Amino acid sequence: MPSEPSRSLTVHGYSLSGNCHKVRLLLEQLALAYRWIEVDSSAGQTRTPAYLAKNANGKVPMLELDDGRILVESDAILYWLADGTPFLPADPWQRAQAMRWLFFEQYSHEPCIAVARFVRGWTHADSPRRVELPRLLEGGHKALAVMEHHLQAARWFTGADYGIADIALFAYTDVAGHGGFDMSAYPAIRDWLARVRATPGFVAMPEPPAEVAARLASST
Ligand SMILES: N[C@@H](CCC(=O)N[C@@H](CS)C(=O)NCC(=O)O)C(=O)O
């Protein structure tokens, strides 16, 4: 991205989505100017004909450049924005390590931890989707155990420095409690979350509205 410093950046995102918050967090930490267009994916706003014309997959986040180019998939957006910055190592081995954690996040972590949060907070208490929760909790705990194991011997997910692998994994791990995950068994993760929150330019994801918060706070 620094090779294209004058590009104007527009993010189409839902502020309460961890996938979208990843992009906001990196943009803030890179101190890049950007425009944010709020798209409430939970209300179907990614499924309108106008949105689908730009992203046929109907999801946020979506990054739009002033020349009309569009990039989707949160971790691809992180990768592009971080290229040439300290948030993505130049060393090929460490770069591959960053990719390893981005793929882990998308295949083993987000599909359980983010989806459990969505089901608990954004569906009604009698939703048929609630039957998914035990499986999501089991899968999410497996992913958290992998992270805990890594963080027992390392401060960050890629080499010696904080970077996009940390940002990608932070987004939904920080709100894992929303999905019903008890984090007491993961002291190394809790210490890492605190380290991420202390990085320069850090911004937190906003709190959900009262109706969602009430569902997240309930025991089911
Ligand atoms: N793999 C995608 C996942 C994006 C995603 O699932 N976005 C959700 C919000 S967190 C969404 O837009 N859902 C709306 C829909 O599927 O209709 C990424 O990392 O960007």
User: Model confidence over 117-135: pLDDT tens digits?
Assistant: 999 999 999 999 999 999 9
Q: In the prediction, which pLDDT does 175 show?
A: 98
Q: How far is the CA of 148 from the centre of ligand 1 (A)?
A: 26
Could you say which residues of the chain have pLDDT below 50? none
Specify the domain boundaries for CATH 3.40.30.10 within the chain: 9-82
| DSSP track, 134-173 | HHHHHHHHHHHHHHHHHHTS-SSSBTTB--HHHHHHHHHH
How far are the Cα atoms of 27, 82, 208 from residue 88, in angstroms, in the given order? Answer: 14, 6, 30
Please tell me the distance from the alpha carbon of residue 50 to that of residue 127, in angstroms, as a whole number. 29
Ligand 1 mutation pick, 11, 20, 41, max ligand atoms within 8 A of CB? 41
Q: Spell out the CATH class of 92-218.
A: mainly alpha
Q: Which residue has the tokens 């987004």?
A: 171
Ligand 1 atom with the smallest distance to the CA of 73 is: 20
Q: How far is the CA of 14 from the centre of ligand 1 (A)?
A: 10
Please tell me the distance from the alpha carbon of residue 138 to that of residue 134, in angstroms, as a whole number. 6
Q: Spell out the CATH class of 9-82.
A: alpha beta
Ligand 1 atom with the smallest distance to the CA of 77 is: 20
Yes or no: say if 38 and 15 are a contact pair by the CB < 8 Å rule.
Answer: yes
Q: Is the CB of 46 under 6 A from ligand 1?
A: yes
Q: In the prediction, which pLDDT does 220 show?
A: 65
Please tell me the distance from the alpha carbon of residue 118 to that of residue 93, in angstroms, as a whole number. 35
Specify the domain boundaries for CATH 1.20.1050.10 within the chain: 92-218
Q: Is the CB of 61 under 6 A from ligand 1?
A: yes
Q: Is the CB of 215 under 6 A from ligand 1?
A: no
- Over its C-alpha atoms, the chain yields an Rg (Å, rounded) of 17
Nearest residue (by CA) to ligand 1, atom 10, is: 17
Q: How far is the CA of 76 from the centre of ligand 1 (A)?
A: 13
Q: Is the CB of 17 under 6 A from ligand 1?
A: yes
Ligand 1 atom with the smallest distance to the CA of 39 is: 12
Q: Is the CB of 179 under 6 A from ligand 1?
A: no
Q: How far is the CA of 189 from the centre of ligand 1 (A)?
A: 25
Q: In the prediction, which pLDDT does 4 show?
A: 67
Yes or no: say if 72 and 15 are a contact pair by the CB < 8 Å rule.
Answer: no
Write down the pTM of the prediction.
0.97
Helix axes 133-151 and 164-173, enclosed angle (nearest 10): 140
Please tell me the distance from the alpha carbon of residue 96 to that of residue 173, in angstroms, as a whole number. 22
Closest to 11 measured CA to CA, from 99, 81, 107, 83: 81
Backbone angles phi, psi at 71, to 5 degrees: -125, 130
Q: How far is the CA of 207 from the centre of ligand 1 (A)?
A: 19
Q: In the prediction, which pLDDT does 124 show?
A: 94
pLDDT digits (tens, 9 = 90+) for 162-189: 999 999 999 999 999 999 999 999 999 9
